[in-house]
Amino acid sequence: MIRSVVLGCGSYLPERILTNSELAKKVDTSDEWIVQRTGIQQRHIAGEGEFTSHLAIKAAKAALANAGIDAQSIDLIVLATSTPDQTFPATAVAVQNALGITHGAAFDLQAVCSGFIFAMTTADSLLRTGAGKRALVIGAETFSRILDWTDRGTCVLFGDGAGAVVLEAQEGAGTTADRGVLTTHLRSDGRHKEKLYVDGGPSSTQTVGYLRMEGREVFKHAVGMITDVIVDAFAATGASAETIDWFVPHQANKRIIDASAQKLHIAPQKVVLTVDRHGNTSAASIPLALSVAVNDGRIKKGDLVLLEAMGGGFTWGSALVRW
Ligand code: ACO
């Protein structure tokens, strides 16, 4: 059977770092409160004139370099974002154009913080049908542009950034010893759409709007939803907390990550954590964390890597990948 094998990954973070202490000068908060409730110490913020596509292009180029392949061999780009440059065209076509690619297809996908898992699942499905040979899966966000910087309940949580992986369709034996995406599980439940949303949009208000969230409600549902789709991934493959090498969760909040890992009996030393440095970068958080762990030598070829995310909608999902 065909497997979507990871050839490489890369990321990009804007230069500007915004610390908790700086934020405490703008809104009524403190470094202590933010660290204690979320684990976040700092986040990166896109510069003036720096768009989601600019971050995505840099991450895509880094991923192509890491994979050691030419952009011309890419025939599919799936870009997850909730903060596109424009309502249309898709930010993915700006990336395609910047890479000089005029064949194949590029499109955006929107599943908020779960976007990268949804994009990876979509790319994997298309590669396995033979619709493409090599895909760039990108998560890129400039959430700083949709934050209400007077709302201390939300503005302290998010940051900007982008990450990308290159997938290639390769023949596998069909066992979990294969390299590549082994299983993916996607879920959504629109009953919760008002718990985390943006209060604007082209059809409703003709404005971009600001992020609004019932933090406690999100927290309450997060751990259960995350662990459910991980149990599904384990059931589909026979993998377990003991057999995975790395757990790379969406980086929303250290307390949600710790509680999920604990519930699943995943050893703390297997958990890749970047929320302290990046904040919540929504669809970009998983590929950013993957890049960190690949670059520092933790994730190696053949390792079993568990990914999960949960976000607005609610949407949630998991992916189990042999690197
Ligand atoms: N600084 C200081 N005080 C604050 C801040 C802040 N930045 N924000 C809120 N507070 C205050 C509140 O006003 C409230 O004060 P009060 O008791 O006087 O009314 C108090 O802190 C407690 O507020 P809660 O909202 O109940 O605080 P909680 O312990 O729930 O922590 C948080 C808030 C961190 C948002 C938490 O609910 C959370 O992490 N939720 C998950 C949200 C999340 O991660 N969303 C990301 C998007 S979804 C995803 O990616 C999974």
Note the pLDDT of residue 274. 98
- Strand pairing category for 105-109 and 211-213: unpaired
- CATH number of this structure's domain 2-171: 3.40.47.10
Ligand 1 center from residue 130 Cα (angstroms): 45
pLDDT of residue 317: 98
Ligand 1 atom closest to Cα of residue 38: 34
Distance between Cα 67 and ligand 1 center (Å): 40
Cβ neighbours for 72, distance < 8 A, ≥ 6 positions apart? 100, 101
* Pocket flag, ligand 1, residue 257 (CB < 6 Å): no
Instruction: Name 96's Cβ contacts closer than 8 Å, sequence gap at least 6.
Output: 77, 102, 104, 106
Q: Which of 20, 66, 253, 280 is catalytic?
A: 280
Return the residue whose CA atom lies nearest to atom 21 of ligand 1. Answer: 153
State the amino acid at position 188 in one-letter form: S
Average confidence (pLDDT) per 10 residues, the chain, 323 residues: 98 98 97 98 98 99 98 98 98 98 98 98 98 98 98 98 98 97 98 98 98 95 96 98 98 97 98 98 98 98 98 98 98
Given this model, what pLDDT does residue 120 score? 99
113 is catalytic: yes
Atom of ligand 1 nearest to the CA of 153: 8
pTM for the model = 0.97
107-116 pLDDT tens trace: 999 999 999 9
Are 183 and 236 in contact by the 8 Å Cβ rule? The answer is: yes
CA of residue 238 to ligand 1 center, whole Å: 37
Report CA(154)–ligand 1 centroid distance (Å): 8
Ligand 1 atom closest to 309 (CA): 51
> Is 185 one of the annotated active-site residues of the chain?
no
Question: Ligand 1 atom 48: the closest Cα is on which residue?
Answer: 311
CA 150 to centroid of ligand 1, rounded, Å: 14
Beta-carbon neighbour count of residue 61 at 10 Å? Answer: 17
- Fold matches, 2-171 and 180-322: yes
Domain locations along the chain: 2-171, 180-322
Ligand 1: which residue has its CA nearest to atom 38? 215
The pLDDT, as a whole number, for residue 23 is: 97
Q: What is the CATH number of domain 180-322?
A: 3.40.47.10
Cα dihedral across residues 49, 53, 57, 62: positive or negative = positive
> Is residue 253 annotated as part of the catalytic site, yes or no?
no
Question: What amino acid is encoded at 156 in this protein?
Answer: V
The residue nearest atom 11 of ligand 1, judged by CA position, is 153
pLDDT for res 205: 98
Tell me if 315 CB under 6 Å of ligand 1.
Answer: no
